Amino acid sequence: MSVFRRRHLCSLTAALVLTATVPATAAVAAPSSSAALREVMFVGNNWDGTAEVIRATGDFGKIGRINVIPDKDQRMAEINADPIKWIYFMAIRNSVGEGHDQFVDDMYSTPDGTSMVVSRPSFADVVSIDLASGRINWRFPVSGYRSDHMAVSPDGKRVAVSASTSNTVHVLDIVTGRELGKFGTGDKPHENIFTQDGKYIYNMAIGDVNTQTDAPWLDWTKGDRRITVVDATTYKQVKVIDMRPQLDALGLKDHSDAVRPAVFSPDESKLYFQVSFFNGFFEYDIATDKITRTKTLPKNPATSDDRTTFVNDSRHHGISMSPDGRKLCVAGTMDDYATVVDRATLQEGPLVTASKPYWATVSGDGKACVISESGTDQVTAIDFATGKKVVSVPVGDHPQRVRLGHVAAGWTSPSAS
């Protein structure tokens, strides 16, 4: 498989699972509900090991930057002292990192806006960073050797993180870093989503996306790919959703069943999701357990159809929905565009040129879709109403996840950054 900028660790045959612990490395700031907060967007610059902080609306201008690897020397010493950790670390650097390390995948702020919680793939951990000082509050090493996508509960108190090499999701107290529970998943857990009421967590396992067995007839080699739904209090499995029978019933046997980024409709009756290799997305009805609509989006004539050239098997990666539920925004990663799609008709709008767009989220005011362009190191806002580009803002090296968050009203970059 060709190596592109991407975030998943390639499959390795040797694997040891580490027991996660939570050593406290600094005192956690006490919440202050009366403090004035400012809504911002965090942009994870994966290769930089930084998070850009930009305005959540308007011109999306830069506010500051946070160093998310202030403990790099200590972590590297640990990795160099452990042969297995070193093997996994170097595998990330020399394959999916194209000679770079993966230092930030996902991030959220604490409810009081005093800290940022970050998953760091190359260091196989989650850390909380004090936004005033830039110092680490706590660190949680995940089981296995790589951390990935996260999700925060609706009340902002819990964060779920995928440990992609141990097929586990850990759920942590966002303030203390204490593990509240964990659950098993399919192979290579990826996206996590809490339901709006906070009662359930959906995890999407994408299987082995770094192998070259990408032909449809070899799809069975990709592993156990499924959606695992768990009770968010007990962390017990309540449901498994397998898209293979759904796709086969539609005559789409050549389509992968590896569910990638996904988004619920406002009433959570429908789930819209992307799958490996496909230039488009599906609509899935929760109540009837059926795929109800398929949307195929245009291909870029300059993009090869050779599946082995796709970033981690994902032709399109990134989907979000306007707050009113009327529009979807889709990142056409390998096809170098993003587009707004009318949810009722599934008609796409203008194809907005973008360089390997890697994620799609919604602005603070809900008026724009914000995508990360990993190929040109910028984020771009697209108006939901018109489908046209609003503005692009330069950020750090290889931006991936973009999340809404909060900082203190007068916040500036910590000196440590």
The token pair that represents 360 in the structure block? 């799609």
Q: Cα–Cα distance between 196 and 132 in angstroms, integer?
A: 30
Nearest to 351 by CA among 331, 370, 378: 331
The pLDDT, as a whole number, for residue 243 is 96
- CA angle centred on 90, ends 108 and 315, rounded to 5°: 60
- When pLDDT is cut at 50, 70 and 90, the band that residue 99 belongs to is confident
Buried b or exposed e, range 161-192, using 16+ CB within 10 angstroms: bbbbbbbbbbbbbbbebeebbbbebbbbbbbb
pLDDT at 7: 35
Residue 202: the pLDDT is: 98
Q: Is the dihedral of CA 234, 236, 238, 242 positive or negative?
A: positive
Sign for the CA dihedral angle at 101, 105, 108, 110 comes to negative
Give yes or no for a contact between 394 and 353, defined as CB atoms under 8 angstroms apart: no
Q: What is the DSSP letter of 142?
A: P
Mean pLDDT, residues 328-346: 98
DSSP class of residue 410 equals: T
> Measuring CA to CA, which residue among 43, 45, 26 is closest to residue 129?
26
**DSSP per-residue string spanning 269-321:** SEEEEEETT-SEEEEEETTTTEEEEEEEPPPPTTS---GGGSGGG-SS--EEE
Q: Domain coordinates of the chain in residue numbers?
A: 37-408
Confidence band of 97 (pLDDT split at 50, 70, 90): low
Give the pLDDT of residue 229.
Answer: 98
> What is the average pLDDT across 89-101?
79
Give the pLDDT band of residue 211 (cuts 50, 70, 90).
Answer: confident
First to last CA, the chain: 36
Pure H helices in 46-93:
72-81, 83-91
Contact yes or no for 275/259 (Cβ under 8 A): yes
Q: DSSP secondary-structure letter at 35?
A: S
- Secondary structure of 204-256 in HEC code, one letter for each residue: EECCCCCCCCCCHHHHHHHCCCCEEEEECCCCCEEEEECHHHHHHHCCCCCCC
**Interval 366-392: pLDDT, tens:** 999 999 999 999 999 999 999 999 999
Among residues 365, 366, 368, which one has the least CA distance to residue 388? 368
pLDDT at residue 363 tops 50:
yes
- The token duo for 86 is 């070193």
For 154-164, what is the mean pLDDT?
97
Q: What is the pLDDT of residue 233?
A: 96
Residue 318 is predicted with a pLDDT of 97
More confident residue, 23 or 69: 69
Interatomic CA distance for residues 394 and 246, integer angstroms: 41
pLDDT at 72 over 70: yes
- Residue 332's closest CA among 369, 285, 299, 367? 299
CB proximity list for 178: less than 8 A, separation 6 or greater = 22, 172
CA angle in degrees (0–180, nearest 5) for 169-17-94: 90
**Over 70: is that where the pLDDT of 14 sits?**
no
**What's the whole-number average pLDDT of the chain?**
91
**Amino acid making up residue 143:** S
Interhelix angle 72-81/83-91, rounded to 10 degrees, is 120
Mean pLDDT of 56-73: 97
Taking residue 235's Cβ as centre, other Cβ atoms within 10 Å add up to: 17
Q: Calculate ∠ Cα 165-170-174, nearest 5°.
A: 135
- pLDDT category at 30 given cuts 50, 70, 90 is very low
362, pLDDT greater than 60 = yes
CATH architecture of structural domain 37-408: 7 Propeller (2.130)
Dump pLDDT digits (tens) for 168-201.
999 999 999 999 999 999 999 999 999 999 999 9
Residues present in the chain in total: 417
Note whether 129 and 114 are within 8 A (CB). Answer: no
- Is residue 242 very low, low, confident or very high in pLDDT (cuts 50, 70, 90)? very high
